[in-house]
Chain A
Amino acid sequence: MKSLKSRNGLLCLAGLVLALLIPQIIDNNFYIDVLTLVLFSAFLGQSWNILGGYAGQFSFGGVVFFGTGAYASSILFRSFGIDPWIGIFGAIAAGAAMGAFIGFISFRYGLKGSYFALITLAFAEFFRIIANSVEFTGGGVGIFIDYNPSLTQLQFDNPAGYYYLALLMTVISLLIAWWLERSRFGASLVAIRENEEAAEALGVNAFRCKMYAICIAGAMGGAAGTFYTQKFLYLDPPIAYGIGTSVEMLLVTIVGGLGTIFGPLVGAFVLHSINEVARHYLEAPGLSMIVYGLILIGIVGFLPNGLIGLFRRRQKKMAGGDDA
């Protein structure tokens, strides 16, 4: 078992080195861009995974943190001249505050399961309408972000810059998940996911743990928001609070593997690959999303532990595990 562990550690290190070298190996901006999007999705997915995968609180409005962070750093820059490399911390704080707000309202009143999913959806819709109607978000017109490549703007003149930023964020998100898997707090979250009443009976403060989880998810979503605006240079209410991103977050996680460290990354890689292939060979709108939907149904129906689960089962067999 120990050798398996050190082998996994080595595998992670090799993966990281490979990831660092990719812009040197692949001299094709298109692929670097796709990989950047994969990492970005994986990061967002991990934000959803912490709340949905580890703590078992499925949200249908995970985008609300992303949108809040995106608006926070954009408005900080536009109205107060604060550069995005500082602004991203404002975005993280705003995302965490949004997490605390939604978490307090939802968990304080004991909403769980489908009800929690629905209330997060309602919050995303609520803030979409607000962002669409007030002045300081730029309303329906949205916010255009100036392009001034420099590190303080978190903007780069070559795709590799964005790639490395996304890689850094993804590595941090993986470390957070890794920490969750071996900390007492993470164990409490899993206990809450499996049986909240039992966890409480054993002395886990479920409300507090869920609050921490949603704040961490919110902080990560906020950071993702800043990354998005600095890369794509435009933000409007449907981007910030649309259901599409919420669905993507849960999709990559569930496809890859709920409550696993690498689930969101694996899911993001597979789904984006499918998307690119579908876009390349079939010039038809909607088709790749049809495939996404079918994959989601298939995974829920036949592979409840996601692609990672498939891999794990094999690994266990190789290690001679008996509880496969």
Chain B
Amino acid sequence: MLDEFMLLGMMPAAVVNGLMFGAIYALVALGLTLIYGVLHIINFAHGALLMLAMYAAFYLFRHFGIDPYFAIVFVVPASFVLGYALYRWGIGKLAHGKDENILLVTLGLAIVIENAAIFFFTADQQTITLSYSYDTVDLGFVFLSLPKVISFFASLFICLLLWLLISKTDLGRAIRAVAKERQGARLVGIDVEHIFAATYGIGIACLGAAGCLLLPSFYVDPFTGNIFVLVAFTIVVLGGMGSIVGALVGGFIIGVTESVGGLILGESLGQIGISLIFILILVLRPTGLFGAKS
């Protein structure tokens, strides 16, 4: 009886915490969904590249004392350049445009990055402590850690920026054109290869931001990315492949599912919600909540 009351009492806190994390999940998924929407490829190296961004933020903090939230200024452009180069001179060339090949090339990339991380950074878990790591925000019914709140709003802000980029700028217009109709875009003079690489770069730049925002409240080790791979895929499929709104809503749903699932079912079994949602959505509604009908 008491247990049930306690569970009920902890529920609002779990939901709010889930929403906080969900925003970062959404940012991770946003990169994935953008890449899928334009390139029609599933980027299996997503988790590994996120892990790389987290290490970048970690070492910027460790060696130069740069606050992870400020590190975004460096990590995001660097991620964009890395993503652009990876696609332009790597994935795009090697995969010969075949769906399964891209999956395999990005899988190979993930293996290389992950093990290079073990080699260079060791397999030890790393965390950072900021001067405000233990500060909290009181919402009346729940105390939230300050880093989580900052990350939440920063994620939303970056999602907004991305939406503006896609819907208001020339680059965004070109990206949408390529996503809709490759040949047509080529005919009106858009450099399609450049747009592909730029889209991949923007997708990885989202990861750069997400890595910086995650670091204050999450550990990093060479395998951290794996935790987010299935989560990000689930969000993307749930929200609808290629849908930005879908990624945002999906991120919140998954964040809350995970946190509430953990509360009700316990730490171990609680993670099952994500893979279950993933299987169900693939089977019952593969276009997702906001995806275009195919």
The answer to the question of A115 belonging to the interface, with a C-beta cut-off of 8 Å to chain B, is yes
Bound-state CA distance A106–B283 (Å) is: 7
- Number of residues in A with C-beta < 8 Å to the partner? 43
Residues of A within 8 A of B233 (CB): 118, 121
Q: Are A114 and B103 in contact (CB under 8 A)?
A: yes
Q: Are B286 and A130 in contact (CB under 8 A)?
A: no
- Number of residues in B with C-beta < 8 Å to the partner? 43
The answer to the question of B109 belonging to the interface, with a C-beta cut-off of 8 Å to chain A, is yes
Residues of B within 8 A of A117 (CB): 42, 100, 103
The answer to the question of B105 belonging to the interface, with a C-beta cut-off of 8 Å to chain A, is yes
Residues of B within 8 A of A121 (CB): 230, 233
Interface string of A38-61 (1 = CB under 8 A from B): 000000000000000000001010
Give the residue of B42, B119, B275 whose beta carbon is less than 8 angstroms from that of A114: B42
A residues 274-294 near B (Cβ < 8 Å) are: 284-287, 289-290, 292-294
Q: Are B116 and A286 in contact (CB under 8 A)?
A: yes
**Which of A172-180, A212-220, A296-304, A311-319 lies on the face that meets chain B?**
A296-304
**Which of B16-24, B91-99, B151-159, B252-260 lies on the face that meets chain A?**
B91-99
What's the least CB distance linking B6 to chain A, in Å? Answer: 21
Interface string of A186-228 (1 = CB under 8 A from B): 0000000000000000000000000000000000000000000
Q: Are A287 and B269 in contact (CB under 8 A)?
A: no
The answer to the question of B107 belonging to the interface, with a C-beta cut-off of 8 Å to chain A, is yes
Q: Are A254 and B104 in contact (CB under 8 A)?
A: yes
The answer to the question of B131 belonging to the interface, with a C-beta cut-off of 8 Å to chain A, is no
The answer to the question of A126 belonging to the interface, with a C-beta cut-off of 8 Å to chain B, is yes
Chain A CB within 10 A, most for which of B100, B105, B109, B276: B100
What's the least CB distance linking A81 to chain B, in Å? Answer: 29
Q: Are B282 and A129 in contact (CB under 8 A)?
A: no
Give the residue of B101, B123, B271 whose beta carbon is less than 8 angstroms from that of A300: B101
Interface string of A18-37 (1 = CB under 8 A from B): 00000000000000000000
What's the least CB distance linking B101 to chain A, in Å? Answer: 5
Interface string of B110-125 (1 = CB under 8 A from A): 1110111111000100
Q: Are A301 and B107 in contact (CB under 8 A)?
A: no
Q: Are B100 and A293 in contact (CB under 8 A)?
A: no
Q: Are B119 and A111 in contact (CB under 8 A)?
A: no
Given contacts A133-B268, A286-B118, contact A122 B282 (CB under 8 A): yes
The answer to the question of B65 belonging to the interface, with a C-beta cut-off of 8 Å to chain A, is no
What's the least CB distance linking B263 to chain A, in Å? Answer: 15
Residues of B within 8 A of A140 (CB): 268
Residues of B within 8 A of A123 (CB): 275, 279
Q: Are B104 and A293 in contact (CB under 8 A)?
A: no
Give the residue of A119, A129, A287 whose beta carbon is less than 8 angstroms from that of B279: A119
Give the residue of A106, A109, A125, A247 whose beta carbon is less than 8 angstroms from that of B107: A247
Chain A CB within 10 A, most for which of B111, B112, B278: B111
Q: Are A296 and B94 in contact (CB under 8 A)?
A: no
Interface string of A117-147 (1 = CB under 8 A from B): 1110111011001101100000110000000
The answer to the question of B12 belonging to the interface, with a C-beta cut-off of 8 Å to chain A, is no
Which B residue's beta carbon lies closest to that of A113?
Answer: B99
What's the least CB distance linking B120 to chain A, in Å? Answer: 9
Main secondary structure of the interface of B (DSSP, over half): helix
Q: Are B282 and A287 in contact (CB under 8 A)?
A: no
Given contacts A117-B103, A121-B230, A133-B269, contact A105 B279 (CB under 8 A): yes
Give the residue of B100, B101, B105, B282 whose beta carbon is less than 8 angstroms from that of A111: B282
Q: Are A290 and B269 in contact (CB under 8 A)?
A: no
The answer to the question of B146 belonging to the interface, with a C-beta cut-off of 8 Å to chain A, is no
Residues of B within 8 A of A294 (CB): 108, 112
Residues of A within 8 A of B226 (CB): 243
Residues of A within 8 A of B237 (CB): 118
Q: Are B276 and A115 in contact (CB under 8 A)?
A: no
Residues of B within 8 A of A113 (CB): 99-100
Residues of B within 8 A of A125 (CB): 230, 275
Q: Are B111 and A130 in contact (CB under 8 A)?
A: no
Give the residue of A114, A292, A300, A301 whose beta carbon is less than 8 angstroms from that of B111: A292
What's the least CB distance linking A34 to chain B, in Å? Answer: 21
Q: Are A297 and B94 in contact (CB under 8 A)?
A: yes
Q: Are B119 and A287 in contact (CB under 8 A)?
A: yes
Bound-state CA distance A297–B111 (Å) is: 10
Residues of B within 8 A of A284 (CB): 119
B residues 49-98 near A (Cβ < 8 Å) are: 93-96
Bound-state CA distance A250–B101 (Å) is: 12
Residues of B near any A CB (own CB < 8 A):
42, 93-96, 99-101, 103-105, 107-112, 114-119, 123, 222, 226, 230, 233-234, 237, 266, 268-269, 271-272, 275-276, 278-279, 282-284, 286
In the A-B complex, the 10 residue pairs with the closest CB atoms:
A293-B111, A301-B94, A286-B118, A293-B112, A286-B115, A296-B108, A297-B108, A289-B115, A133-B269, A126-B275
**Can you spell out 12 A-B residue pairs with CB atoms less than 8 angstroms apart?**
A111-B282, A113-B99, A115-B282, A118-B282, A119-B283, A123-B279, A133-B268, A133-B269, A254-B104, A286-B115, A296-B107, A300-B95
Besides the known contacts A114-B100, A122-B282, A300-B101, 6 further A-B residue pairs in the complex with CB atoms under 8 A apart: A105-B279, A115-B282, A129-B275, A287-B119, A289-B115, A295-B108
